[in-house]
Structure 1
Amino acid sequence: MFDYKVKLDVFQGPLDLLLYLIKELEIDIYDIPMKVLSKQYMDYIASMKALEINVASEYLVMASELLKIKSKMLLPEPPISDEGDPRDELVGQLLEYQNYKAYAESLESLMASQSKIMTKAPQEMQEIDIASSTLNVDIQDLIHAFNKMEQRIKMKEEASFVIHRDTMSHEEASDYLNRQFNYKHQMSLHEVFETLEGRHRIVTVFIVVLEHIKNHVITIGRRDDDTIVLERPA
């Protein structure tokens, strides 16, 4: 029925070879046709010997075990038997090895994914003395504006289910703010943050904004419609 020839691939032991044969022959692991499986296994052993490849003793032990199970299944069944199916022990070993192999492959995949992720040591942030800076806007207004930005980001993340792993350094946040003011010298607080995604980016840029206000690099004020605006002197 089966006309299958074993290729001499690299296997990590007799159980690995048996799982390969079961998969290639589309055999039900819970109902193994021992005649077919043992024949293909022995063909593999014979091919190794024909190519003068040293056959490990564990492969020979498994070969004898397969022939033993096969011979038991050829015997007529006694009226009452407590031994059960002679294939049960082999099936148990195969299932256990199959699970270990799946776990190993999952760990290798996880390690490969982790190797692509770069991390950076925590950066100590300088404390900003907000009280020492003269502001045309109350600090509570700034906090309220920041909370609105944070709420906007949460809503966007819940809608898209996207996880952003990238972060922004203090230098990158400063460059981002400078580029924003290259287009116009005055912007609303919403315009500054509207293109940012991720809470870490919002927080980092917000800290830079506070630093610039403290150092009088930019000023902050309020329009007639209560919109908070940032302005960089020309």
Structure 2
Amino acid sequence: MEVFPYRVELDRFSGPMDLLLYLVRRNEVDLRHLPIARITSQFQEYIEVLQELDLGLVGDFVVMASTLIEIKSRMVLPEENEVEASADEPPISAGDPRSELIQQLLEYRRFKEAAVALETRADEWQERYPRLAGDRPTTAKDPTADRIKEVELWDLVSALSRILRRADVAPEGHIRYDETPISVYVEQIGNRVHAEGEVRFTSLFDSTTLRSKITGMFLAVLELLRHHSFRAQQDEDFGEIVIRPPLPVSDRL
């Protein structure tokens, strides 16, 4: 049986701007007072994880990281009429190197919030008004159009980063490499979640120290969330992520 290469395309539902907004929320800072040094350092940490996943979109993140580094370097240069402020969160001024990026982020956030609002209203409209037979789609739903909530995604990437930094996870060598198809991990993890009812994300990786296997299992989790209606939930911000099976069909209607 021919095995086709498997790839998870994150660019269908996320990108550098999404990651920046996530980091702003995670740091609980005002977007207009972007702490560029702190955000740049954290952004680079996420790039390291994305490179482990070998995703084609990493180039876009590298470009954004270069922009952040340039802004950071420009901010250490003294400017005339500079207002006294903390090094981490200086105020925005007309010549502030962050101003263009912040404006882009504000605009991006407005469009994103508008898109979410429209999607919510569309869901409410469909619940109020039943679809007529003539309104049914002529083609089946494309599962590749499914999206993972970006907070779920970046929290999962953050958790993966912590796993890869464990002392017992050794750098990959050319001799030891896991070539197990992602579909195998999808079946194994899916069966475990169904059997146990819920599984802590970190516990999935307790028995392996092989980086390529950890990466493959992580991509399998994304597959379960994106295409198989599994759920990733946190009881508190930045806490343990729990993977749960799909809701019954009756609860999803």
TM class by smaller structure: 0.3 to 0.5
Q: With structure 2 as the length reference, what TM-score do the two structures score?
A: 0.40
Using CA pairs below 8 Å that are at least 6 residues apart, which structure has the higher relative contact order?
Answer: 2
